[in-house]
């Protein structure tokens, strides 16, 4: 199993992530210091990780209130919406890189 942890800025932010990621079985956690996190445990497949991260990115884009701080496999990341539009991506959609032969 792989764990994705999203550090939310507030309870309302945590609720938003929780609802946006409901298809992935999230848990809403209040830490010892009173901050909020959304936890998702997922199977180790790359497909599931990509689907979950895509859903996080789409939520960050749609809410438009700054980046999300998250942790995956013990490594910290900052996911920013930039000027992107929500997308749907599946590993099956990927084309091999030009050098990958």
Q: Which domains does the chain have, with CATH numbers?
A: 2-82 (3.30.70.120)
**What pLDDT is recorded for position 63?**
85
What is the tens place of the pLDDT at every residue in 14-69?
A: 999 999 999 999 999 999 999 999 999 988 888 889 999 999 999 998 888 788 99
CB 72 within 8 A of CB 7: no
């Amino acid at each position: 199993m792989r764990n994705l942890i999203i550090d939310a800025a507030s309870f309302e932010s945590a609720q938003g992530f929780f609802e946006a990621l409901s298809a992935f079985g999230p848990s809403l956690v209040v830490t010892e210091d009173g901050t909020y996190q959304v936890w998702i445990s997922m199977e180790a497949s790359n497909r599931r990780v990509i689907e979950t991260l895509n859903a996080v990115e789409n939520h960050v884009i749609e809410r438009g209130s700054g980046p999300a701080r998250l942790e995956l496999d013990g490594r910290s990341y900052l996911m920013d919406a930039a000027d992107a539009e929500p997308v749907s991506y599946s590993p099956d959609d990927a084309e091999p890189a030009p050098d990958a032969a």
